Structures are given as C-alpha cells and as structure tokens.
Amino acid sequence: MIHPSSIISPLAEIDSTVDIGPFCVVEAGTRIESGCRLVAHVCVRSGTSLGRDSTVYEGAVLGGLPQISNSNTAPGGVVIGERNVLREHITVHRAMHAASSTTLGDDCMLMVGSHVAHDCQVGNHVILANGAMLGGHVEVGDRVCLGGNTAVHQFCRIGQLVMVGASTKVSQDIPPFVLVDGATALIVGLNRVGLRRAGFSGQEILDLKSAYRLIYRHGLSFQETLDALVERFPTGVTAEFAEFFRSGKRGFVQERRSPPRVALRVHPAVDGWNEEDSSPVIRRMAG
C-alpha cells in the first residue's frame, strides 16, 4: 500500500508487499524488498537498497550524499540488510565512489538521530543508541552496542561484541569483546553479559579472559603481545585478538586501571581553634 501523498519514482523497484505511509519520497534507482514499511516522511534516495522486513520511521534519510568537500565524484550506494529497525531522523549516507557502498547488516537497530557516514561497514545485530555517530570509513563488527551520543572518528574500527558507554569519544580502534567506559573512553574489561547472550561457551569466555590478561596485565610490548597471542591462541575466538591488532593503523584504546588506594590523612587542629565552639558535625569529624 502506498499513501497518495507520497512521491514514488516509477524507476524505483518496490515489492508489492511494501507499505509506504504519508509524505515519503522514493527516488529512481532504489530497491525496497518485501515486507518493508516506511512509516511517514521517509526519504529513500538513489542508490539505496533496503532489505526485506525492515521498518523505517519518520524523518529518516537513506542514501544521502556523502558529506565531503569534494562533491564532484560520482557517489556509490547504500546497501541495508534485512529486518532492520531504523528510527526517527536517522541518516545513512552513500559511499564516496561509484564502485563502493556503505553497508548495514541484518537485525540492526539505529535509534533516534543516529548517523552512519559514507563508506562505513556495519555488521549484524548492531545497536546505535540515540545520537550515536559514525564518521566515514568506520568498521563496526557484529553485535556492537554504542551508547547515546557516542562519536566515532573516521577510519576507526570496532571489533565484534564491543559495548561502548554513552557520550564516548572514540578516536582509536577498539578490540573485540570488551567494554568501554563512557566517562573515560577507556576499556574496563570483557563484555561478559554480551558474550553469554551471544551464546559463547564457558570455556570460550575463560579463554578470552586469559587473552585479555595477556594483553593488558603482563606489561609486554606490542610486538611481544602479538607474538604471545599467536603462540598461545592460534585458533578459536581468541585468535581474533591477534588478527585485529595485526591490521590496526590508528592505535588502540587502552585499559583503564584503578588508581592506588589513597589514605585519608587527618591533620591536627589549628592553633586557637576551640572544639567547644564548633558544630556537632565538626566535633564528630575531629573525634
């Protein structure tokens, strides 16, 4: 069903089961597969492919031109997978060059106001919370969750099953399977809840814990860490650490270490201070 107020190009490929609400615009050179729903005021621009059973909410723009200073290049496309939920006012931009595409996998949720820039490669089951932003050429692995207002610098990579706290500035690569604290933008451990929900076995989680300790607690140089990972964890999920570190170009987010315990020093009373004249609270503190 197509609402009569919507403007649909006759050159768009739209399955007969697609539901298009009021005031939508679908340009030529687009493809919308079966079971999709455009709620209202959605713009699907040329070069965009939307996989089946996806829902796009009010004000979303799919396939906008890349935000680059050199706008003379012929842009690429946007390929969006199946069963995605794209909430209000999200934006997904086309790749810079005709031979490339910005891609979004299956079963993702892009919450209100989130942004996927040109040439990003986003995996499956990814969640971008409200206002999360990906710069150009960012790579995001499967089952990543980015907290609200997180900003990821262009060309950064985020490994699978990473969870990033709200309002984080990500300017370096984040290795897989870890938690990143929003206040410090540093790693605070493994994403154990995410690992269990993804079906990782107890032994796999123990192996990841051993690899994590090797990386962050043994005090090895980068090359020593890489060699040790290859030697001790040549196969299985833990092998992803070495592969990820080997291909890095921007550096890697570091671990947040707890500060040493600080003793509270109590100084003697200042000369001339009369305890009897002080308040009961101060007297208790002094006692």
SS3 state at 14: strand
Q: State yes or no: is 118 an active-site residue.
A: yes
Q: State yes or no: is 181 an active-site residue.
A: no
DSSP 8-state code for residue 218: S
- Catalytic position from the list 106, 119, 142, 173: 119
Q: In what order do the strands lie in the sheet with 145-146?
A: 19-20, 37-38, 55-56, 85-86, 109-110, 127-128, 145-146, 163-164, 178-180, 187-190
- Catalytic position from the list 93, 118, 125, 137: 118
| Phi, psi of 182, rounded to the nearest 5 degrees | -70, -35
Q: State yes or no: is 271 an active-site residue.
A: no
Residue 98 CA to residue 137 CA, distance in Å, equals 15
Q: What tokens appear for 256 in the block?
A: 């947040």
Number of H helices, E strands in the chain: 5, 27
Residue 161 CA to residue 88 CA, distance in Å, equals 25
Residue 240 CA to residue 242 CA, distance in Å, equals 6
User: Would you tell me how many other CB atoms lie within 10 Å of the CB of residue 55?
Assistant: 17
195-200: long-range pairs with CB below 8 Å, 24+: 195/161, 198/143, 198/161, 200/237
- Catalytic position from the list 51, 81, 123, 136: 136
Query: Which residues are known to be catalytic?
Result: 118-119, 136
